[in-house]
Each structure stands twice: as structure tokens, then as C-alpha cells.
């Protein structure tokens, strides 16, 4: 599955989709494939302030636990309850139904400096 071109992707394989001051984030198909079967999604709660470079939560698979990092500071304004109930959404639809959190972000410049989906795919063999 190709990474959507409207997503920016961090070195740790989180994707970010900017819509004004709201940023939706999740993990890439590459990350989901590397984790294999995702069994648990635990995000911090709505209202939590997140610093740039700090985790918004974690996902667990049969292989490992992986923290999910934001590249920007913001406040969590939504958490995907469907992904918490059905973690396999991260494997089957990581850019759609498998999103993780939405952040209210004052400065999105750090996201806009990241490679877009097609540039990410070129470096990760998609």
C-alpha cells in the first residue's frame, strides 16, 4: 500500500496529515508490516499536552511494544476508539480507519519539513 501523498512521515515511521491546526497521526504501512499483528493500541487521553519528540502512546504486537512519537508539540483532541477496540485496523488500514490521535497544533512547520508519502515510499521500497 502506497503512503498517501498528503501525509508527511517521520524517521520513526509515524505519518502526519495536516488540516489547518488539526494534525491526524498514525503509523505507516511499513511500520505496521514490521510490527506484524498489532494486538494493543494505548494512546494518551484527550486533553493531554504532548511535547515535540515525546510519545502520544504505544502500540503492541506479538513481537514488540513500540512508542508512537509526535514531531510537534500539541494537545490531543481526539483518540481513535475504534483502533483501541480493534488494533488490527492498524495492519489493514493504517492511513484511514487505523489513525491513532488528532492533535491541536500551533506550529506545523516541523511536519511540513518532513518527506511526503511518495518520498518516504521511495526510501522504504514501496
Cell 511536519: give the residue.
111
Taking the complete model, does pTM exceed 0.75, yes or no? yes
Mean pLDDT (the chain, rounded): 96
**Could you give the domains of the chain?**
8-107 (2.40.50.100)
Q: How far is CA 4 from CA 28, 54, 101, 103, 117, in A?
A: 10, 24, 17, 19, 5
Identify the band that residue 29 occupies on the pLDDT scale cut at 50, 70 and 90. Answer: very high
> Using only C-alpha atoms, what is the Rg of the chain?
13
Q: Tens digits of per-residue pLDDT, 42-57?
A: 999 999 999 999 999 9
Amino acid at each position: 500500500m502506497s503512503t498517501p501523498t498528503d501525509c508527511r512521515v517521520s524517521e520513526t515511521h509515524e505519518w502526519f496529515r495536516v488540516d489547518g491546526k488539526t494534525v491526524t497521526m498514525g503509523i505507516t504501512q511499513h511500520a505496521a508490516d514490521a510490527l506484524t499483528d498489532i494486538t494493543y493500541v494505548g494512546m494518551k487521553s484527550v486533553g493531554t499536552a504532548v511535547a515535540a519528540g515525546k510519545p502520544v502512546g504505544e502500540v503492541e504486537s506479538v513481537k514488540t511494544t513500540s512508542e508512537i512519537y509526535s514531531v510537534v508539540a500539541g494537545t490531543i483532541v481526539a483518540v481513535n476508539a475504534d483502533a483501541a477496540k480493534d488494533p488490527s485496523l492498524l495492519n489493514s488500514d493504517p492511513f484511514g480507519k487505523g489513525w491513532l490521535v488528532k492533535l491541536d497544533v500551533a506550529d506545523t512547520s516541523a511536519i511540513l519539513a518532513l518527506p511526503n508519502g511518495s518520498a518516504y515510499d521511495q526510501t522504504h521500497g514501496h
